[in-house]
Amino acid sequence: MKIRGLIYLFFILAFTANVSAQNTDEDAFFIKKIHDKALSDSKCYDWLYHMSENIGARLSGSDEYNIAADYTEAELRKLGVDKIWRQTTTVDYWDRGSGSSVRITDAMGHVLETKSLALGKSVGTPPGGITAEVIEVKSLDEVEQLGREKIEGKIVFYNRPLDPTHLNTFRAYGGAVDQRGNGASKASEYGALGVLVRSMTTRQDDVPHTGSLRYKEGVKPIPGIAISTNDANKLSTLLKDGEQPVMATMEADCNPAGERPSDNIIAEIKGSEFPDEIILVGGHLDSWDVGGGAHDDGAGCVHSMEVIHILKALNYQPKRTIRCVLFANEENGLAGGREYARISNENGEFHLAAIESDSGGFVPRGFTMDGTAAVLESYAKQINDWLPLLEPYGLWLKTGGSGADISPLKSQNGLLMGLRPDSQRYFDFHHTATDRIGAVNQRELELGAATMATMVFLIDKYGLKRP
């Protein structure tokens, strides 16, 4: 292939597209500076180390959450932002208590002590636990089909694995997580006493994964406990092997524990030309109550903080207002995201764009874009013109979701985006005791921050024409 032909082609394309060649060179240069800064002199890894290892897991409403809120507020203040404030939300606290256990016994008297974690928001069991026969199902539909005759008085074991053939592991998760979210209430409707749920991961290992369940109103809440995939496989084998019933004793000391306050942390750099056009970067400061919440979602918090750090360090003067928001309570209620949007709407604010990072601190692969149909048609097209600036960093743009915390902002008719890191390892650590700093590669984390800063820079510099 001839380079001359390519260049000729390029000029045709450049002409038809909206990108001016001169700006493109300048932009590419600044984007390189953003990346250089992130890879050589960033703070995000140290911040995440502190949050994950020194503060640790930080469920909304916990002491650790409040310590993390103080810490991130102080660190954001050091960056010299124009304004920093808090929004207090009210969250439904939940307490794991002294933990859980699931002991399986077959008719031969063999005992399997599983690795387990009670599901978030689950009610506890009575002391001494619940002992009952286990029945395995692959879906909520199967519970309905089996009906009360087969389900009543039993412990229902949801064991449909994540489909490993999805390239995007979030799809695999999305295809299985109804068991965790709604399995308890479905089983309770048919008289079950409790549910065991196969951990939501593509891995075969001994690590149990927690995460929220939701109780349906009017249905008796029964306890739900996750067991590791290795234990789920063993239990399933026991159930297949025997003619005799397999019994489980499940015990969990957890319980909902009343309302507590929990704060969103917000910092901003005021825009010089269009201060009323807000570009938000954010993640959620809360995590589940095990591990260190390193990937979920400490990474998203430090990504967002690092955007501020990089732009400040490069002495970038934004035309628009750049706002970093660390949301409370994504894991067990979304009170932070809802309250943020409520106040924003009340104040007549407009978020031109909001970018959430809540898919881990892995190597960035691109962004998904969300919004109303009119927004996607107008904004997304403009964003796509920047693709040649992103492609050298291996980044793509697709329509898709954005992030739970920013989703209530959709009605403002801005563009919502989600940073999409590579998803292969995310569910190795999601909602587990292993989601700690050792699971995070520093360069991958830094590149995520650089990718977000790049998008903020482009949106700030060029704006987005409203539909």
Cis previous bond, 297, omega within 30: yes
Element housing 188 (H / E): helix 178-189
Q: Using CB under 8 A as the criterion, what x/- string covers residues 184-223 for binding a second copy?
A: ------------------xx--------------------
Identify which of 228, 229, 225, 141 has the alpha carbon closest to the alpha carbon of residue 187: 141
Distance CA(69)–CA(326), nearest Å, equals 8
Stretch that binds a second copy, among 21-29, 81-89, 264-272, 457-465 (CB under 8 A): 21-29
Residue tagged 């960093």 (tokens): 393
Interface with a second copy, residue 365, by CB under 8 A: yes
Identify which of 415, 424, 393 has the alpha carbon closest to the alpha carbon of residue 462: 415
Stretch that binds a second copy, among 107-115, 249-257, 318-326, 393-401 (CB under 8 A): 393-401
Q: How far is the CB of 357 from a second copy (least distance, A)?
A: 17
Element housing 69 (H / E): helix 63-78
Distance of CA 75 to the CA centre of its chain: 22
Size of the site for a second copy (CB under 8 A): 49
Figure out which of the listed residues 257, 381, 466, 467 binds a second copy, where binding follows CB under 8 A: 381
Three-state DSSP class for residue 343: helix
CB closer to a second copy, 152 vs 391 = 391
Figure out which of the listed residues 392, 411, 466, 467 binds a second copy, where binding follows CB under 8 A: 392
Interface with a second copy, residue 21, by CB under 8 A: yes
Three-state DSSP class for residue 373: helix
Contact 278, 349 (CB under 8 A): yes
CB closer to a second copy, 148 vs 381 = 381
| Angle made by CA atoms 397, 342, 60, in degrees to the nearest 5 | 80
Site residues (CB under 8 A) for a second copy, limited to 149-188:
164-165, 167, 169
Interface with a second copy, residue 444, by CB under 8 A: yes
Figure out which of the listed residues 16, 29, 40, 218 binds a second copy, where binding follows CB under 8 A: 40
Element housing 132 (H / E): strand 130-137
Contact 322, 352 (CB under 8 A): no
Stretch that binds a second copy, among 129-137, 149-157, 176-184, 423-431 (CB under 8 A): 423-431
Site residues (CB under 8 A) for a second copy, limited to 236-295:
none
- How deeply is 14 buried, as exposed, middle or buried, from its count of CB atoms within 10 A (0-12, 13-18, 19+)? middle
Figure out which of the listed residues 231, 356, 405, 428 binds a second copy, where binding follows CB under 8 A: 428
Contact 94, 290 (CB under 8 A): no
Q: How far is the CB of 12 from a second copy (least distance, A)?
A: 10
Q: How far is the CB of 207 from a second copy (least distance, A)?
A: 13
Interface with a second copy, residue 9, by CB under 8 A: yes
Distance CA(381)–CA(384), nearest Å, equals 5
Figure out which of the listed residues 393, 400, 433, 463 binds a second copy, where binding follows CB under 8 A: 393
> Under the rule (CB under 8 A), what is the footprint of a second copy?
1-10, 13-14, 19, 21, 24-25, 28, 35-36, 39-40, 164-165, 167, 169, 202-203, 363, 365, 377, 380-381, 387-389, 391-394, 396, 422, 424-425, 428, 441-444, 447
